[in-house]
Every structure is written in C-alpha cells, then in structure tokens.
Structure 1
Amino acid sequence: MLDVATEAAYPPFILGKSRFEQSTFYGRFRHFLDIIDPRTLFVTESRLKEAIQLLEDYKHGTLPPGITNKELWGAQKIKQAIIHPDTNEKIFMPFRMSGYVPFGTPIVVGLLLPNQTLASTVFWQWLNQSHNAGVNYANRNATKPSPTSKFILGYTGAVISAVSIAVGLNILVQRANKFTPSTRLLIQRFVPFPAVASANVCNVVLMRHGELEDGIDVLDSSGQIVGSSRIAAKHALLETALTRVVLPMPILVLPPIIMSVLEKTSLLRSYPRLVLPVHSLVCLAAFGLALPLAISLFPQMSEIETSRLEPEIAARTTSRTVVYNKGL
C-alpha cells in the first residue's frame, strides 16, 4: 500500500519538469509549495553537490542502481530551491523564494505596527523594498547580462516610490480631522497595502527593465533557443508584476482585520505583551499562505504562441508555441 502511495506521489522523473501538473492552478500551487519549502535553507553544501551530481548522472544515463523517482524529485527540488536556472549559481539565502517568508515576516510585522512615526514608516518601507529588490533581481530571467548600474537605478526608484506613497498616505490620514482617533488608527493599519502593492510593481519593472530592452530567450518544444524576444519579456514582467500586486493582499489586509478583533479579547487586554508575538504569528500564517497563492497564478516556464512574437523570431521555428522563464 505504501509503495502505491509513493508511486502516486512521485511519478516517473522527467528532468526539468515539475512532478505536479502545471496547466492547473492547484498543480502550480503544490509545485510552488515545494519551491518555497524553508527546509531547503538548511541543505548542506555536500547534500547540494550530491543532488546536482544525481541529476547529472540521470542526464547522462549513468544513474547508480536502486535510485528511486522520489530521490530524483527530491534532488531536483533542492537544486531548484538553491540554484538559479539561468546562471547555475547559488542564490543568496535571504533572496531565495524559500527564504522569502522566513526573512520577510519580521519586515511585514514592522510594516503593520500601529502608531508609526514618519521615521519608522520610512525605515520599514525602505527595508521591505530592499528585500523585494534583492528577491526580484536574484530570481529574474538572467539569460541576458545586466549591468550593475541598472540594478542601482531600479533599486533607487523602487525605494523612493514606496516611501513616497506610504508617507503621503500617512500624512493624508493624519490630516483627516473628520476621522475619530480609533478610525484613523484602523485606516493607518491599511496604508501599507497600497504603498507596497504599487511600489512592488515599480520594483519589478525597474529591477528588470533591461529585459524589455534586450528581450529574453524563448525556447521551442525541443528546448532549443529560438531567439531573444522583447514581446515575451513584456509578458514575463506583466505576469510577475501581477503576482506582486496579489502577494501583499492577504499579508497586509488580513492581519490588521484579525488583530483588531483579537486585541479586544480578554486575553490580550489582560496580557498586552502578547500582542506582538500574536501579531507575528498572524503575519507569518498570512505570508505563508499568500506567497504560494500569488506565484501560482502563472507557470514559471510560461508559454506564448509563436505567431504573437516578432516576425523574425517566429520565422525561425515550426513550433506553434514557445516557452520562456518568467522568473519569480
């Protein structure tokens, strides 16, 4: 019975493919739950080398006897979580998708702290967009080299936009005399969402603007590079930007609602020191749910009809569709 269950959970291994169906949202959700598994942060260097070697052995048909599909899928999960698919280099731990929730939750807690001062608002928005900039850059489509100057320009623009929007909204709320103090406090708790959502879009576009200029590689059904397409790059950035708008919704909207209810309970009224730990747990739960939901909206290896690409690229292949790495 166990063997049957294992066989169902781990189908025959295919290098570079997901063990979950990528044409459905549920399949992509399960796939990205695998990708963001924080346990991969603790994989040792020797274990990573073993995983990479196992995949190389599979690729060259030299697998040792007795290797199971489960072991192969596990090896690929480790490699995908740590190694960038285009550069084949290790991604800095806080910028991996598996590190997004553990390293991002303290920042979310800071963004949602009540009674923010101007200085604290600026600090948390700067820290959030700095983390986002690192994640966007580390998980970009890297088939084309990008100069450091573009990274600095994108980072500066993203931080300025986030801080400007957040500070501007806070000032508007504080000057709205018609609101009662309690209403003003509640509205201020929701200020981070429009600030973060709009800044996230700026962040993605500015951090990956080079893709719009140079294009990204598109591959045919046999995995061969057909050409470098600006149209595919636009689709990649649009899809990624949409996920960055959806991502902060549960993270920055649900915790204020939940905390406004919990803070009225006798437990938190009697023990106010519990407010911050409870707030942190609520943010962690919301973040842990929101990330896989948001990045599951589109497959990482997205597909586009060849007829929609530049004519010179479409003329190079007989494939009806091509794929490209959307980035995360």
Structure 2
Amino acid sequence: MEPNLRFGISERQSFFRRFLQWMDLLDPVNLFISIGSIEKSRQLLFTTEDASKHYLDNRRIKDAWNRSLSTVHPDSSKLIPTLFRPAAFLPVTAPVVIMSMMPAKGMNSMVLPQVCLYGYNTAFTITNGNASYRLGSIEKALLGVGVFASSVFFGLIPHMVQMKYPLENFWLKKALPVVFLAQVSGMNVFACRSFERVRGIEVMDKEGRVIGYSRKAGRKAVRDTAISRAVLFGTSALVPEVTIYFLKRTQFFPLTPLSLKMARVSFTLLIMGLMVPASFGMFPQVGQIQCSKLEEEIQSSTEETELFYNRGV
C-alpha cells in the first residue's frame, strides 16, 4: 500500500494538527530534496512497522514522512515535479496575487498577472489532483488549455470593467476583484478536475484495498478542494485591502505611495503564509465517506461502513 495513503487513512488528524503538518510540508527546503534521499525515506517507511504511529515521537520517522508526503503523489506513487510540489505554491502565487491586486496601468499590467496566476493554478491543480482514473496526455493537454483560457478571461472581467467604467464606490471597487479572484479560483479547480466527477475516483477500505470507482466521492473531493482554494485566494486578497483601508483612516503614521505598496506586500505575504497551510489542511487529504452515501454497486461490494479516497490538493 502506498505509504502516503496509509498515513492519511491511519492518521485522522484535527485541523490544528493538519495545519502544523502542512507548515512542515510547505518548507521550501522540500523543493530541493534529492531523489536518493526521497527513496531512502520511503524505504524506511515501507520497512518500519506502524510507521505512522511514530510520526510525533520519532524524529527520523517524522522527517521521512515529511519528505514522502511533500514530494510523492499518493495515487500514482510518482515524484511530483519540483515546480508543482506544495512547497512551491506560496513562493510562486504570492507575488502574482500582489500584482493582480495592484491598480492596472495598462493592458500588459492587467493581463500578465492573470496569465501567470491561472496558468500556474491550472498546472498545479491537474498535477496534484486525483490520479486514480485514466486521463490521456491529449485529454490532459486540451483540458489544461481550455481551463487556463477560460480562467484568464473571467479573471480579467473586473479589471476590464474598472478600466471602461471607473467605479466610485470604494467597497465595490475593491470587492469586485476579490470576489472574482475567489470565484474563478474555485471554478478553476472544478474545471481542472471535472473528469473525477464524471469517471469517478478510487475508494478503498482501511487496509487500502480498492473497492471501486465512485463519482460521488469524486464530486466530494473536487468540491472540498474548490472551497479551500476559493477561501485561500479570497481571504488573501480581501484582508490586506481592508487593513490598508483602515490604516488610511487611522493615520497612525505618514502614508506615502511607497509605504502603502510595502504595507500591501507585507500584509499579503503574511496572510497567504497563514492561509496556504490553513486551506490545504481545511479538509483531510485522504477523505473519509460513509459507504451508504456511495453508489449501490460499491455498497454491495463491501461490508465496510466507511471508505477512503484521495482528495488531492
């Protein structure tokens, strides 16, 4: 059984524990782990009995789990490309989110952040989605291009509206891009992983035995991930804007255009630094679902009352 799935099934953690674990997994050092080190860590996990039970009390086992969970896909057991590992998400997306929330000074400054943001989000979501169903390379390419183009188009709408029809109301002017950013980010996940809802994903018992493919589990996995992504980007864009607004109102210190930009950058990095592990850990990566809520053919295939599936990131 794949160690990463075994860990998710056996370790039913609280949100706080998942948050702390994601803080470890999002360490940028995980982008530079050698293949040899990853293989040694996974060999240790394969050969250590009840390795998941030693996650907290054995430093060597904990480091091995962190290397495995941060670099290996739990469905395919393949290495995740370095740029699309969870640890790369914050360093790549934070600067782009900051750029996308800045007032556009021209077409290039308006389009480029959207292209970078949704291009990376699309590739990241497809790479870290559920891989237990068949998806050909041509299908994957066409899906990625279509989702990328539509996400960029919808992401540009609030900026194009403001360029053509300048909004006077402060809250509407600031809220419109935030609402679109959250909505489009969530819909990006729905579109990238649409095949999971149509073809179904593997559901397994507590021993890791695959019981069948469930479209209902696929819908739940995609919905939970889309919610977490919308919350991540919506909160990361909204809180800095509200904070800057109140800073201007209170005037604790002299505000210049440069200091406002520095404050916006600092607040965005801080909020995203907290929201990325919070959103990734909002739902367990290995989800749990009642067998009675699944398709009849799956219910008739097992006597288990609860089954498990890989939610993805």
1:279-294 aligned within 5 A: 279-294=264-279
Deviates more, 1:110-119 or 1:186-195: 186-195
Q: Work out whether residues 121 and 166 of structure 1, in 8 Å CA contact, stay in contact via their aligned partners in 2.
A: no
Partner of 1:22: 12
- Aligned-partner residue type, residue 231 of structure 1: K
Partner of 2:24: 34
Q: Work out whether residues 23 and 277 of structure 2, in 8 Å CA contact, stay in contact via their aligned partners in 1.
A: yes
Match of 1:122 among 104, 111, 114: 111
Q: Work out whether residues 52 and 75 of structure 1, in 8 Å CA contact, stay in contact via their aligned partners in 2.
A: yes
* TM-score with structure 1 setting the length: 0.82
Aligned length: 304
1:83-162 aligned within 5 A: 83-162=72-151
Partner of 1:58: 48
Alpha-carbon offset, residue 176 of structure 1: 4.4
* TM-score with structure 2 setting the length: 0.86
Q: 2-side partners of 1:189 and 1:15: how far apart?
A: 41
Q: 2-side partners of 1:237 and 1:14: how far apart?
A: 19
Q: Residues 76 and 266 of structure 1: is their aligned pair in 2 closer, same or farther, counting only changes over 3 Å? A: same
Alpha-carbon offset, residue 18 of structure 1: 6.0
Match of 2:206 among 205, 218, 221: 221
- Structure number with greater CO (CA < 8 Å, separation at least 6) is 2
- Structure 2, unmatched stretches of 5+, are 52-56
Alignment partner of 2:241: what SS?
helix
Match of 1:317 among 288, 296, 302: 302
Alpha-carbon offset, residue 266 of structure 1: 4.6
When Rg is computed on C-alpha atoms for both structures, the one with the higher figure is 1
Q: 2-side partners of 1:312 and 1:70: how far apart?
A: 43
Q: 2-side partners of 1:20 and 1:220: how far apart?
A: 11
Alpha-carbon offset, residue 37 of structure 1: 2.5
Alignment partner of 1:234: what SS?
helix
Q: 2-side partners of 1:131 and 1:30: how far apart?
A: 25
Q: Residues 53 and 267 of structure 1: is their aligned pair in 2 closer, same or farther, counting only changes over 3 Å? A: farther
Alpha-carbon offset, residue 23 of structure 1: 4.8
The superposition leaves residues 134-178 of structure 1 with CA deviations (integer Å, 9 ceiling, x where unpaired) of 110111111122123333333333333333333332343345467
Q: 2-side partners of 1:15 and 1:175: how far apart?
A: 50
Partner of 1:47: 37
- Structure 1, unmatched stretches of 5+, are 1-12, 62-67
The superposition leaves residues 180-228 of structure 1 with CA deviations (integer Å, 9 ceiling, x where unpaired) of 7xx3xx7544443222222222221221122122211101122211111
Q: 1-side partners of 2:165 and 2:238: how far apart?
A: 21
Q: Work out whether residues 52 and 79 of structure 1, in 8 Å CA contact, stay in contact via their aligned partners in 2.
A: yes
Alpha-carbon offset, residue 324 of structure 1: 0.3
Q: 1-side partners of 2:202 and 2:304: how far apart?
A: 15
- Aligned-partner residue type, residue 130 of structure 1: G
Deviates more, 1:283-292 or 1:252-261: 252-261
Partner of 2:54: none
- Aligned-partner residue type, residue 282 of structure 1: F
Partner of 1:3: none
Name the Cα RMSD after superposition: 2.9
Partner of 2:59: 70
Alignment partner of 2:309: what SS?
strand
Match of 1:207 among 177, 180, 192: 192
Deviates more, 1:108-117 or 1:260-269: 260-269
Q: 1-side partners of 2:310 and 2:45: how far apart?
A: 20
Alignment partner of 1:88: what SS?
coil
Alignment partner of 2:203: what SS?
strand
